Amino acid sequence: MISTLELRRIIETSFLPLQCQCTVGHGGMTVRICDPASGRVDLLVTGINTRTLTSSRALSELIAELRYDLKHTGLAAEQAGRR
Average pLDDT score over residue span 15-34: 92
Type of residue at 75: L
Q: How confident is the model at residue 23 (pLDDT cuts 50, 70, 90)?
A: very high
Q: What pLDDT is recorded for position 83? A: 45
Tell me: pLDDT of 64 over 60: yes
Domain count, the chain: 1
pTM for the whole thing?
0.81
With a pLDDT cut of 90, the percent of the chain lying above it is 58
Domain that holds residue 9: 4-82
Type of residue at 54: T
DSSP H helices, the chain, are 4-13, 56-71, 75-82
Distance CA 15, CA 12 (A): 6
Distance CA 64, CA 81 (A): 23
For residue 38, the 8-state DSSP code is: T
Average pLDDT score over residue span 48-71: 93
Distance CA 21, CA 30 (A): 8
